[in-house]
Chains A and B, each alone.
Chain A
Amino acid sequence: MSVKKRCLLLVLGCVAMVMTSQLVAHNIKYEYQSFEVPGAVRTSAFHISAQGDVAGRYMTGTDPCTRSFHSFVWKDGVFEYFDFPGAYSTLADGINARGEVTGRFLDSPGPEVWLGDRFPCTLQAGRGFVRTKGGEFQEITLPDTVYVGVNQLTASGMMLVDSIGTGCWPDYSLPGCEHGHLLKSGSSYQIDYPGSTWTDARSINEKGDIVGCYGDSEGREHGFLLKNGQFSTVDYLAEGTCINDINPAGEMVGYSYDTERWVSFLLRAGDFIEIQFPDADSTTVWGINSQGTVCGSWNGADGIGRSFVAKRH
């Protein structure tokens, strides 16, 4: 065989290798299952445990100023509903391998604000909660805050919290109002992306890797990964990106948008793989578990928001 032919074969081999690798990287197929709370305007699956239990919230009412949220655990196709006792709204954020659910509850009317041409719209102060598998609640508060949400509690006891400081009503998007917090081993660590105007730390895996999003001085949001004490920015589409969850393998899910599109994605080994519920108007992926099963919400043409879980083939 001549040198030229051998070179050609080598080149073709390399091209084939590249194409095969790309196919492997993107050849993730999902089997989708949709579910919804009967009568709810929106059902949102927010987090999924290693066992496949899903925690989420559903919205009742359509008036933007009076609608409220209630929470559920969805297991093997069966809903278990719950509310923090006496709360106006209860919003579940996370569920861990021990079946503990975390979230936020709203029960204290705050300032009245304009929402578009609507007045008054009453903001609600929030506090965090942890709910045991047996249904007992523990309230989580932080000093000098008007709003606390417990985003995650790992099975090993690391708690990830977001807060809005006292004095930030109603403009809680002002610089310095929203912070992330990691509570572990009796200590609290504030999480702020360097130079950001706000930081929302949304999820933590058992390795201690933290993901979320932050705002820059131009008002744009970006995703971030905090790993081994180092921040990295994650951007996809031009206008904004947020990372919602990370699993033990380091796979992340989030959403991103520009002036034309709203997309959700799986970020795996540096590749963005868009995820869309079949025929949905929009899809938001909120959680991913250790098996790579994702959960989220999708909007249909009928205006109803429904939940889904999607397992990999």
Chain B
Amino acid sequence: MVASSEEIGIGLLLLIGYGWRRESKRFISASPIATKGAALTGGPRRLDAWYERTGNPHTEG
């Protein structure tokens, strides 16, 4: 069976769509993403993670 040009076109469109969907999930950008928020986010677990990593309490917030 030889695919027609219509079939090839549809297939390409689907592949492009799939590629775009995967790319949109990467969340990796070339520049910093700045968003507004409190000085300290993440709640108690982030404080724990800070303590767990540095051995010192977090003094911010």
A222 to B35, CA, bound (A): 10
Interface string of B20-49 (1 = CB under 8 A from A): 001101111111111111111111011011
Report how many residues on chain A are interfacial, defined by Cβ distance under 8 Å. Answer: 70
Nearest CB in chain B: distance from A103 CB, A: 10
User: In the complex, are the beta carbons of B59 and A173 less than 8 A apart?
Assistant: yes
CA distance A15 to B61 in the complex (A): 49
Q: How many A-B residue pairs have CB under 8 A?
A: 146
Residue of B nearest to A17 (CB): B18
Evaluate contact between A220 and B37: CB separation under 8 angstroms: yes
Residues of chain A within 8 A (CB-CB) of B4 are: 3, 6
Given contacts A10-B3, A10-B10, contact A18 B18 (CB under 8 A): yes
Partner of A262, one of B11, B36, B45, B53: B45
Decide yes or no: A220 and B41 within 8 Å by CB, A14-B11, A124-B55, A225-B28 being known contacts. Answer: yes
The answer to whether A272 and B25 touch across the interface, beta carbons within 8 angstroms, is yes
Question: Which B residues lie within 8 Å of A272 (CB)?
Answer: 25, 27
| Interfacial chain B residues near A14, Cβ < 8 Å | 11, 14-15, 18
**CB of A194 closer than 8 Å to a CB of B:** yes
Q: How far is the CA of A263 from the CA of B21 in the complex (A)?
A: 23
The stretch that binds B, out of A30-38, A72-80, A136-144, A232-240, is A232-240
Please state if A270 and B41 are interface contacts (CB–CB under 8 Å). Answer: no
Complex-state Cα separation, A112 to B57, whole angstroms: 11
Q: Distance (Å) between the CB of A88 and the closest chain B CB?
A: 9
Residues of A participating in the B interface, judged by any CB pair closer than 8 Å? 1, 3, 6-7, 10-11, 14-15, 17-18, 21, 42, 44, 57, 59, 64-65, 68-69, 89, 91, 104, 106, 113-115, 121, 123-124, 126, 147, 149, 170-173, 193-196, 214, 216-222, 225, 230-236, 238-240, 255, 257, 259, 262, 270-272, 282, 284, 297, 305
Q: Can you give 18 A-B contacts (C-beta < 8 A)?
A: A3-B7, A14-B11, A17-B18, A18-B18, A64-B57, A124-B56, A194-B32, A214-B32, A217-B34, A218-B35, A219-B37, A220-B34, A221-B41, A232-B29, A233-B30, A236-B27, A257-B42, A271-B25
